[in-house]
Structure 1
Amino acid sequence: MSQQPRERETTTPPVTGGDRAGLSRRRLLTLGAVGAVGVVAAGGAYAVSRGPGLPSLPQLPGLVEPSPPELRIDPQPVDFADLAARRRIGSAAYVYEVTGRAATYYVTEPFGARLDRWLALHRRHVGQAPDEIRSYGAWVRGSSTSWHSSGEAIDIARLRADGRDLTSLRHDQWRDAPATELKRRLSLYWRTAAGLHHEFADVLTYLFDAAHDNHIHVDLGRFGPEQPRLIRRSDAQVQAVQAMCRHVWGRTDVQITGDFDDVTRDATTQILEKAGGPGELADSREAWQAFMVATMEHA
């Protein structure tokens, strides 16, 4: 099984300032790409609605085309002055986890819009309304091996409201909690991760490696502006699905192996059947989205 590229971690935000320079070629290309997504979004691709019981499926306008191939392109490092300076994700303030202070983060405009859409999805289907998102950072000056250096990645640590945690993605802080508390924490962790998997193809959790024990990393590296779908050979995606089956859906027969085996396929198919999903998880992007929304809703 091949793994997604490991990301370099960012521990400090940029400290330099000044007016943002003109649009770079990289930014123009990215903005052009998100324009195509805007058409789909307006047609309802991201409008996942809550009905009685389990959520209804996202609907794509017109004929659904076959899933495009993965975009195996390398990150293109940019200076933070060529990125959008942001202080919020949706309605929540952005706070640097290391200092506990509100901060500015730098990302491409399409990536910022994707973060806003994720938080709206989380509010709707998990039912939490954070006023603060704590993060270990987004842009970092680096090499072409890190999507952080291109302004298309972020490390999310905690979702908070009224001075308390709603969901902690700091597995390092609660992994040794008593069984009942650990069960609650894991359920919230993986329901939150489901929303991130709905929007981002590359989502790295504590299952990926020890470097991600205190945050979840997301980026746009695999598909760019396209919505995610299941890549069966992706250890990160398959492990996450298996963890959701176990820790959210109570399917203890599913083992976290990274292999999309028959037990995992059967369990996800049964979950999708309850949600009115279109076939099996690996069949389509719509099935992937339906599984993630159902998981977010399953308290």
Structure 2
Amino acid sequence: MTTHDEHATASRRSILGGAMGAGALGLVGAGATGLAAAGPAAAHGTITSYSSINGARTVYEVNGALTTWGYRPSFHSRLDTWLAFWNANTPSSWANVSRVWSYGAHYDGRVTEAHNNGRGFDLSRLYTGSTRRFNARYDQWRTLSGSDLALTRRRYWATSASAHYHFRNVLTYAYNGDHWNHIHIDNLVSGTANSSFDSSSRAQVLHVQASCRYVWGLPTTVDGVWGSQTSGHSNRVLRAAGVATGGIGTQSRWLAFNRATTRKGYGTQSYPAA
């Protein structure tokens, strides 16, 4: 497993009120065993405050307030690129995202390396105008049923795919309970480039399996273990997406898998059955 991969992030179930401004989250929690302790602010280089991502204002999930957070500029640029990709691969009848709800980005008091360095972001919701298009609050919607559950879950994994396209580390509700109310995104491994696939990454394998099952309708077991079923089902998705040969082990095919999953999950494009 790659260094820094799939680090456990602090649970949002324990939240302390705090001053909310550039670089202040006021969040603490458990689940960070084995991480390096947060260092002084100077250790992480330049942190710049931003009030938006790709023109969409950022909102603090806890209180609904428009909030400015601090980021490493190169990480914020990757978030801009990700959200532009999301806009481009969701229905053209929708306006661009206007609000990005989150539990925050940089905070020196966190013990997680990504957030301490301004290179982590915890995504909870996306809105176009007043309409919520994506909801990461699995803690709230997991009790839905029927078509409401199917739609919410399909869009969840489609958005996960958009993030996996751009970032190596993406942690979802399937990864552990700490992520039942957000998707964690960071670029500690992928840096300023798009991501690539590693079959030893439990987070990535869970994403592939859940995408095959909940977006593409295949009977894929979601257990985080790479095996013949997951390999075969992801290959079927690639064939449906128009990739003639090979699996997701190469970056171009991994990106094709995630782009098609984003588009299918949001109904942007029709594909043959996988």
TM-score, normalised by the number of residues in structure 2: 0.81
Q: 1:9 to 1:152 in 2, by over 3 A?
A: farther
The answer for the alignment partner of 2:9 in structure 1 is 7
* Counterpart residue identity of residue 288, structure 1: W
1:221 Cα offset (Å): 1.7
- Determine whether 1:295 maps to 2:261: yes
1:217 Cα offset (Å): 0.3
Which of 85, 89, 98 does residue 125 from structure 1 map onto?
89
What CA distance in whole angstroms lies between the structure 1 residues aligned with 2:87 and 2:190? Answer: 25
The answer for the alignment partner of 2:41 in structure 1 is 79
- Determine whether 1:200 maps to 2:167: yes
Secondary structure, in 3 states, of the residue corresponding to 1:82? coil
The answer for the alignment partner of 2:271 in structure 1 is none
- Determine whether 1:178 maps to 2:150: no
- Determine whether 1:163 maps to 2:127: no
Which of 140, 143, 158 does residue 107 from structure 2 map onto?
140
What CA distance in whole angstroms lies between the structure 1 residues aligned with 2:78 and 2:40? Answer: 19
Q: Which runs of 4+ in 1 moved over 4 A?
A: 9-18, 73-78
Secondary structure, in 3 states, of the residue corresponding to 1:101? coil
Cα RMSD of the aligned pairs, angstroms, is 2.6
The answer for the alignment partner of 1:102 in structure 2 is 66
TM-score, normalised by the number of residues in structure 1: 0.75
What CA distance in whole angstroms lies between the structure 2 residues aligned with 1:121 and 1:16? Answer: 28
1:84 Cα offset (Å): 1.1
- Determine whether 1:229 maps to 2:193: no
Q: How many residue pairs are counted as aligned between the two chains?
A: 244
Secondary structure, in 3 states, of the residue corresponding to 1:157? strand
Secondary structure, in 3 states, of the residue corresponding to 2:196? coil
Which of 201, 222, 226 does residue 256 from structure 1 map onto?
222
1:174 Cα offset (Å): 0.6
Alignment gaps of 5+ in structure 1: 19-72
* Counterpart residue identity of residue 256, structure 1: V
Deviation by residue 1:182-216 (Cα, 9 ceiling, x = unmatched):
11110000001100000011000001111100000
Alignment gaps of 5+ in structure 2: 24-34, 268-274
Larger relative contact order (C-alpha < 8 A, sep ≥ 6)? 1
Percent identical pairs in the alignment equals 30
Deviation by residue 1:228-276 (Cα, 9 ceiling, x = unmatched):
1111111110011100001000002x10011111111111112112223
Contact 1:201-1:222 at 8 Å conserved across structures: yes
Contact 1:85-1:104 at 8 Å conserved across structures: yes
What CA distance in whole angstroms lies between the structure 2 residues aligned with 1:13 and 1:147? Answer: 20
